[in-house]
Amino acid sequence: MKRVTWPKHSVLVIAIVATWITTYIGYITSFNMKIDNMMQEIILFMNPLSFLLFVYGLSLFMKSAKRRNIYIISISLLTSIIMFSNAVFYRFFNDFITLPLLFQTSNFGDLSSSIGENLHLTDIFFFADVIIIALAIKFIPTSKTTLSQRNIGRKLYFVVAATVLMINLGLAEAQRPQLLTRSFDRELLVKNIGAYNYHIHDLFIQSKTHAQRALADGSELAEVANYINANYAEPNSKMFGIAEGRNVIFVSLESLQNFVINNEMNGHEITPFLNELTNDPDTFYFNNFYHQTGLGKTSDSEFIVENSLYGRNGGAVFFTNSGNTFNSMSERLGENGYFTSVMHANNKSFWNRDIMYQALGIEKFYDVDSYTIGEGEAVNWGMKDIPFFEQSVEIMKTMPQPFSTRMITLTNHHPFDLDEEDMMIPPYDSNSKTLNKYFQSARYMDESIKIFFEELKKNGLYDNSIIVMYGDHYGISENHNKAMGKYLDKEITPFDSTVLQKVPMFIHIPGYGKGETVEELSGQLDVRPTILHLLGIDTKEDMQMGADIFSPDHDPFVVFRDGRFVTEDYIYTNEVCYDITTGEQTDGAACEPYIERATTELGYSDLIINGDLLRFTDKEE
Ligand code: GP9
Ligand code: MN
């Protein structure tokens, strides 16, 4: 009797489907991924396929059936191990595996002791596909012809695979623009491109970082150190140590640009509380201060303020270099007896913070799990700033003093949505919904800071602290130039766009009495030395590219990550040199020397980060 044979590629098809379904069931049973809409559900369901079609498809290049089967079984085993390890890891860390984390062995202290408790019998399910495939190989009789003449079928197969991948990436990009270039969150990556593609992405980023690091041997340090020493600005003797021993509270003001300060929108004051602070004798208000962030947005601002170095040109340094050695402000404060932390009511893995904070020597991260988000207390990206500040002050009361903490606000984030009851002023009336809502949302932020100050006072934390607040980056991009032009009543040129990168900075020192508006041109890189000096901590030996703004030697020169720069006389943008007072184009030669300096400075900063050069200066090593 003739034996019935199954189509030749039955095993391949079974393998793809089995691993696909096992992976998907693994997703929904093992990870706590928030799915907000049907489209996200569809993306999650289809994303394993975009990887599996390719990887299993490679078996089509193998001539013997035996080889194909071994390959297919190995792949199913590998994918199962990947999913299983992530699931176990997730039970400990509530996060997906990333390579630098595997190298930070300190994470695994607790893990080895309790690993047994975190293995579940049901974990066998992760290997269900391997079992199904093995059975298929054993029991399904397939024809044994070789595949050599099957080029057309194979081409078609890979066209389909590529199409599935393109659809997956397209849908992901629509859900989360710039997901891959900015790669902000592991959970988002897994949700959108799938666990397997995420690991390839992670491997790619990390191997690039490792290759660059391997090339450095520390000999580059001397040249960089020379540059840094030459730019060192001695602290101002009248200011050094004026806040010694106090707690220091940094507040990262989400998307707050300086143009809203002391300004009105259709007759409504936008930031009444901050405006008051600009005239407050205990406050220094910096009105000529720029953000210097790139693609890493908030995380870049954190990086800059911590290290007084530039972020990376492509991607977020929080992701690419979280395995580096740093000489952060937090570490320095820690050495000086401070308890250091960050408070931010978002997923801890967003911007890879959980990993990067360890590299930055931050002792504690109060992430979303440290907060209780009650009914009506979340909007837009998450917890509203007012309850965030209120609960944060409660947490602060439990911190050992002196402490240093960075509070990262969230409500004033694109798309600037608010609940009706939080709108204290009407929207603006331009063609940009974003800008229209921005004023209302900035107004809400102002209110939240006012409440924060009150809470600090009520809870006895005010007098012995200093509060440093700064805008993290722009909120209104150049896509809204037309609406901005209407608001500012002028056409927005590249010169204006550059000036619009000013963010407000405040240093509030309760009881100080000699505050003023500081007009010195400065930027986020200057925060670290400025604050450490106020706290009486010397930074002469530190590899930092900014300088103390209060120092008589402070050099007014601000470089942006993309190479634009601002001096006291010129703004250089789009390869055009503008006169800062007239905003008119001027002779390019005037900008020449600064162009060179900006390039050198960015280059040295990159050298430090790419080569992980601070590992060669680290005292412990
Ligand atoms: C997310 C928050 C916002 O935790 O910091 O990040 P952003 O998009 O502004 O970089
Ligand atoms: Mn931000």
pLDDT tens readout for residues 18-30: 999 999 999 999 9
CB count in 10 Å sphere of residue 116: 7
Position 183 confidence tier, pLDDT thresholds 50, 70, 90? low
pLDDT of residue 41: 93
Atom of ligand 1 nearest to the CA of 410: 2
298 is known as an active-site residue: yes
Q: What is the rounded distance in angstroms from the CA atom of residue 478 to the CA atom of residue 497?
A: 7
The pLDDT value recorded for residue 109 is 52
Are 181 and 189 in contact by the 8 Å Cβ rule? The answer is no
Q: What is the C-alpha separation between 500 and 204, in angstroms, rounded?
A: 35
* CA-472 nearest atom, ligand 1: 9
In ligand 1, the atom with minimum distance to the C-alpha of 299 is: 10
- The stretch 406-418 carries a mean pLDDT of 96
CA distance 356 to 328: 11
Q: Which atom of ligand 1 lies closest to the CA of 297?
A: 10
> Mean pLDDT throughout 307-329?
92
Cα distance between residue 391 and residue 6, in whole Å: 64
How high is the pLDDT of residue 206? 83
**Predicted confidence (pLDDT) at residue 107 exceeds the cutoff of 60:** no
Does 298 sit in the ligand 1 pocket, CB within 6 Å?
A: yes
Bridge-based pairing state of the strands 289-290 and 339-343: unpaired
Determine whether the shortest distance from the Cβ of 413 to ligand 1 is under 6 A. yes
Confidence at 519, pLDDT banded by 50, 70, 90: very high
How far apart (Å, rounded) are the C-alpha atoms in residues 192 and 204?
17
Q: What is the spatial distance between Cα 334 and Cα 328, in angstroms, rounded to a whole number?
A: 10
Q: Return the ligand number nearest the Cα of 176.
A: 1
Model confidence at 120, in pLDDT bands (50, 70, 90)? confident
Ligand 2 midpoint to CA 5 (Å):
60
Which member of 283, 298, 409, 539 is catalytic? 298
Question: Regarding predicted confidence, which is higher, 202 or 181?
Answer: 202
Q: Tell me the pTM.
A: 0.85
Residue whose CA is closest, atom 3 of ligand 1?
Answer: 298
Q: In the structure, what pLDDT confidence band is assigned to residue 108 with cuts at 50, 70 and 90?
A: low
- Compute the distance from residue 592 Cα to the ligand 2 centre, in Å: 32
CA of 106 to the centre of ligand 1 (A): 27
**CA 104 – ligand 2 centroid, Å:** 27
User: Coil, helix or strand for 302?
Assistant: helix
Average pLDDT over residues 420-435: 97
Q: Which ligand is nearest to the CA of 188?
A: 1
**Residue 449 and residue 440 in contact, taking contact as beta carbons nearer than 8 Å:** no
Please tell me the number of the ligand nearest to residue 254's CA.
2
Say what the pLDDT of residue 621 is: 41
Alpha helices (runs of H) in 94-184, residue ranges in sequence order = 99-103, 109-114, 128-139, 151-175, 179-182
Instruction: Kindly report which listed range (231-235, 402-406, 573-577) carries the lowest average pLDDT score.
Output: 573-577
Ligand 1 touching residue 346 (CB < 6 A): yes
Q: Is 1's pLDDT higher than 80?
A: no
For 264-269, what is the mean pLDDT? 98
Euclidean distance between CA atoms 432 and 429, whole angstroms: 8
The response to whether residue 350 sits with its C-beta less than 6 Å from ligand 1 reads yes
Per-chain mean pLDDT for the chain: 92
How far, in Å, from the CA of 299 to the mean position of ligand 2? 7
Q: Is 295 in the pocket of ligand 1 (CB under 6 A)?
A: no
What Cα–Cα distance (Å) separates residue 611 from each residue in 203, 598, 608?
A: 18, 20, 6
Return the H-helix or E-strand segment holding 486. helix 481-488
Task: Report the percentage of the chain scoring pLDDT > 70.
Answer: 94
pLDDT at 597 over 90: yes
* CA 121/CA 143 separation, integer angstroms: 37
Q: From the CB of residue 297, how many other CB atoms can be counted at a distance below 10 Å?
A: 22
Candidates 176, 181, 182, 184: which one to mutate for ligand 1, based on the most atoms within 8 Å of Cβ?
Answer: 184
Least confident of 81-90, 141-150, 240-249, 328-337: 141-150
Q: For residue 291, how far is its CA from the centre of ligand 1 (angstroms)? A: 15
Residue type, 11: V
Instruction: Return the bridge partners of 264, or none.
Output: 269
Would you list the DSSP string of 533-591?
HHTT---TTS--S---TTSTT---EEE-TTS-EEESSEEEETTEEEETTT--B--GGGT
Q: 9: Cβ below 6 Å to ligand 1?
A: no
